[in-house]
Amino acid sequence: MFRMWGRIFKDNHMLADTVISDPADDTRTHKVFRALEEICMELDLQKPIWLDQNVRDFQRVAKTRFRQDSFIETIPFDYLEIQIIEE
C-alpha cells in the first residue's frame, strides 16, 4: 500500500493535511504524481511545478516542500509539504 501525506503550513503551523492511499500496482513515479494531484484537489490548490530542488529532496528523503516559486498564482500559506509515509 502506497500512502502520501500532504500538509499546508503557515508561520510554522499546520493549516490542513490529508493522506492519500493508492493500492494500484504501478510505478512509484506514477503513484507520486497521482497522489499529489489528489492532495491538491482535496486541499483546493493548483498543482505545483516540480523544481530541481524538489526533485533532489524527494529522491533523497521521500519528502519535499513546494514554496511560492513552485506555484503560478499567489498562495495564502508558506509551503505545501508532501511526504511518503508508506510504500
Overall average pLDDT of the 52-70 stretch = 95
16 or 25, higher pLDDT = 16
The answer on pLDDT for 42 being more than 90 is: yes
The span from the CA of 65 to the CA of 73, in Å, is 16
Instruction: Identify the pLDDT of residue 2.
Output: 93
Structural domain boundaries enclosing 53 = 2-86
The answer on pLDDT for 13 being more than 90 is: yes
Domain count, the chain: 1
The answer on pLDDT for 87 being more than 90 is: no
- Report the mean per-residue pLDDT for the chain: 94
Angle at 57 between CA 52 and CA 60, to 5 degrees: 125
DSSP structure string for 11-41: TTEEEEEEEEEE-----HHHHHHHHHHHHHH
The answer on pLDDT for 69 being more than 90 is: yes
